[in-house]
């Protein structure tokens, strides 16, 4: 009943009010290394940001800011999206001295963070791909493709992608396979649309074949954590909070969309 009483204009006004709040509170200080990041948590009583967006939440912010720009034509949304994209670029490892094992990945939080979740970094690359396509920024598209090459060659070197990668000498743990990689297949679908390179469809197929076989049962129930060697479901058996695991059972992380896209192009 409540939804029925909300008009289209009310929904639009609420969405744009949220976007305007994001823009007002985006870090815009030229002398702050956080420039371009947006609030991740905010203290309403103190009226201040208490933490900033990571690679993937910055990427999602770019997507919604671009939606606001195309809906309204207002330049401040586009400017905010560009600042966020510039911050993401600062997280990408592109040093000429970097090894192929890390070159192209987006660090998780800041340019000094020694690790990343490949699925989170993929959202950063996805946002740059869309930003580049929408604005003509070829550098953003190039960076997204560099990341995709890293992901296919390194993150997927054991078949299904790693949970976490490191930029130091620590082990790439946890060693398990996790359901949230399902949405990564949709990113490779988008890359195929942009480049027409079949290698991206191969990556898409590889991710979804594993996900559909070992993470998704016939009733649609998601097994969040799976042993990489035995394929045993490890939900409730690993050192991660159950509320986190249960959340991922309901958040398929674009798995349904990825499967629909695969159905269209992989028949």
pLDDT score of 62: 98
Q: Residue 57 and residue 11: Cα distance in Å, rounded?
A: 22
Considering only CA atoms, which of 58, 51, 18, 19 is closest in space to residue 37?
58
Phi/psi for 257 (5° steps) reads -65, -40
Query: What is the reported pLDDT for 228?
Result: 97
Rounded to two decimals, the pTM is 0.95
Angstrom CA distances, 261 to 13, 58, 120, stand at 32, 25, 20
Q: Per residue in 103-118, is it b (16+ CB within 10 Å) or e — as a string?
A: bbbbbbbeeeeeebbb
pLDDT value of residue 88: 98
Predicted pLDDT of residue 3? 63
Distance separating alpha carbons of residues 102 and 118, to the nearest angstrom: 11
Beta partners for residue 178, in sequence order: 225
Residue 50 φ/ψ, nearest 5 degrees: -105, -15
**Integer Cα distance of 174 and 262 in angstroms:** 28
Give pLDDT, residue 6. 81
pLDDT in tens, the chain (267 residues): 566 678 989 999 999 999 999 999 999 999 999 999 999 999 999 999 999 999 999 999 999 999 999 999 999 999 999 999 999 999 999 999 999 999 999 999 999 999 999 999 999 999 999 999 999 999 999 999 999 999 999 999 999 999 999 999 999 999 999 999 999 999 999 999 999 999 999 999 999 999 999 999 999 999 999 999 999 999 999 988 999 999 998 888 899 999 999 999 987
The H or E element that residue 41 is part of is strand 39-43
Judged on CB neighbours under 10 Å (0-12, 13-18, 19+), 133 is: middle
């Amino acid at each position: 009943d409540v939804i029925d009483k909300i008009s289209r204009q009310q929904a639009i006004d609420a969405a744009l009010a949220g976007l305007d709040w994001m823009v007002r509170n985006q870090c815009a200080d030229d002398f702050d290394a956080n420039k371009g990041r947006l609030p991740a948590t905010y203290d309403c009583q103190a009226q201040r940001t208490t933490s900033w967006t990571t690679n993937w939440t910055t990427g999602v912010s770019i997507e919604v800011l671009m939606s606001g720009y195309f809906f309204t034509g207002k330049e401040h949304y586009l400017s905010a999206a560009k600042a966020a994209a510039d911050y993401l670029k600062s997280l990408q490892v592109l040093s000429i001295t970097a090894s192929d094992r890390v070159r192209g990945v987006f660090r998780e939080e800041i340019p000094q963070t020694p690790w990343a979740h490949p699925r989170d970094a993929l959202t950063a690359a996805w946002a740059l791909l869309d930003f580049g396509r929408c604005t003509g920024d070829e550098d953003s598209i190039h960076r997204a493709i560099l990341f995709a090459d890293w992901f296919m060659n390194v993150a997927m070197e054991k078949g299904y992608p790693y949970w976490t990668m490191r930029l130091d000498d620590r082990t790439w743990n946890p060693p398990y396979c996790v359901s949230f990689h399902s949405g990564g297949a949709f990113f490779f679908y988008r890359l195929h649309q942009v480049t027409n390179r079949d290698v991206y469809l191969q990556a898409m197929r590889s991710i979804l074949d594993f996900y559909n076989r070992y993470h998704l049962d016939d009733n649609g129930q998601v097994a969040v954590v799976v042993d990489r060697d035995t394929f045993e479901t490890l939900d409730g058996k690993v050192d991660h909070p159950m509320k986190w695991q249960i959340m991922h059972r309901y958040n398929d992380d674009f798995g349904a969309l990825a499967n629909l896209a695969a159905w269209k192009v992989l028949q």
